[in-house]
Amino acid sequence: MRNTKQPSNCMGGLVLSEKEALGILEQSTAYGQYLSLTEDMQRELLDFVKGTRGLKITYDPFFKHIFDPVIHGERLSRLLTVIIGQKVTVKQVLPSQSKRLAAEASLIIMDIVVELESGALANVEIQKVGYHFPGQRSACYSSDLIIRQYDRQKSLKKKKFSYRDLQKVYTIVLVEHSSREFHQIPDQYIHRSSQKFDTGLELELLQEYIFIALDIFQEITHNIDKELDAWLYFLSSDKPEDMIRVTEAYPAFRELYREIAEFQRKPEELIAMYNETLALYDKNTVELMIEEQQEEIRRLEEEAQKREEELRAKDDELELLRRELAKRTENT
């Protein structure tokens, strides 16, 4: 069915007609699973097999495939280097959640914890939807990284352990659909935070945070002026015109796009990855709905309490008026 003379797309894959692409999927042993996907996912997958669009790298299985730290450790190292702003070499990947946080429901699509060459830890997350209270949650994850590092250093160095052995920890959050807080600053897509004293006192505090709103990046960035722009386009866009711009500015990305294009020839693996994504999405959607309901319940309880306090205050005012009226009646 595949004609080697057919034109190739910007990723190096074939450009097929819709009929040819459907034929490939229909002949696949995973075609039944393809039909169980959402209509949007079916369209995405079909367009990719046609060669008219790329893949969404923010889907968990595809991100972990492209940035596999065992096979392609240099890619994750480079991504973290341009985000953090200093040279990073990923040493190893740690379990994404410790026992302290494993019991908590997570709305994170991708969560990977890496140990850097310096000994510092970085927690890289991708969220499809910016969930409630990202600051508070991220503080919990960051604190967990500190404790992990403390436990490891304490175990390795025993009595020789010093708190000066602890390195910085980085919590890096890539948000695909950012929450209201981010849109209140519409002209900025990357937010960096470190702990400092207002007096100028200099102590080495360890927790740093980097939030990147990919949707705002797409809205306000129109050129690829630096390598970080290329990486963020790579992560956030499956449009052919953006892929061309990225590879023209940074030819090294052609290898990544060619690797993605290979999935055109692996429909079973491609469909399996989409099904894994859908399963994660369904789970996270349920958890998000639960959290939103809990937030709504909390808001209604606060409103009810406020009304109750207002009614109580009015009752107190009425009682005071009754007493004053009674006192005046007695005096007359």
**Can you give the pLDDT at residue 248?**
94
**Can you give the pLDDT at residue 274?**
85
User: Strand order of the sheet with strand 190-194?
Assistant: 90-94, 110-116, 121-129, 169-177, 207-213, 190-194
Q: Residues 130, 131, 136, 140: what is their CA dihedral angle, to the nearest 10 degrees?
A: -100
Q: Where are the domains of the chain?
A: 56-292
What phi and psi, each to the nearest 5 degrees, are found at residue 115? -100, 125
Q: What is the mean pLDDT of residues 174-201?
A: 91
Q: What is the pLDDT of residues 62-80, one digit of tens each?
A: 888 888 877 888 998 999 9
**SS3 state at 202:** coil
Higher pLDDT, 330 or 158: 158
Confidence of residue 12 (pLDDT cuts 50, 70, 90): low
Asked if residue 4 has pLDDT above 60, the reply is no
Asked if residue 1 has pLDDT above 70, the reply is no
**Can you give the pLDDT at residue 320?**
82
Higher pLDDT, 111 or 204: 204
Percent of the chain with pLDDT over 70: 83
**Can you give the pLDDT at residue 105?**
40
- DSSP codes, 61-75: HHHHHHT-TTT-HHH
**Can you give the pLDDT at residue 295?**
62
**Can you give the pLDDT at residue 125?**
80
Mean pLDDT score of the chain, rounded to an integer? 82
pTM of the shown model: 0.76
Confidence of residue 3 (pLDDT cuts 50, 70, 90): very low
Asked if residue 179 has pLDDT above 50, the reply is yes
Asked if residue 153 has pLDDT above 70, the reply is yes
Contact 13, 250 (CB under 8 A): no
Confidence of residue 110 (pLDDT cuts 50, 70, 90): low
**Can you give the pLDDT at residue 62?**
85
Q: In Å, how far from its chain's centre is CA 332?
A: 75
Contact 50, 15 (CB under 8 A): yes
Higher pLDDT, 142 or 296: 142
Q: What is the pLDDT of residues 268-327, one digit of tens each?
A: 888 988 888 777 665 555 455 445 555 666 677 777 788 888 888 888 888 888 888 777
- DSSP codes, 265-282: G-HHHHHHHHHHHHHHHH
Q: What is the pLDDT of residues 75-105, one digit of tens each?
A: 989 999 999 988 888 887 776 555 444 444 4
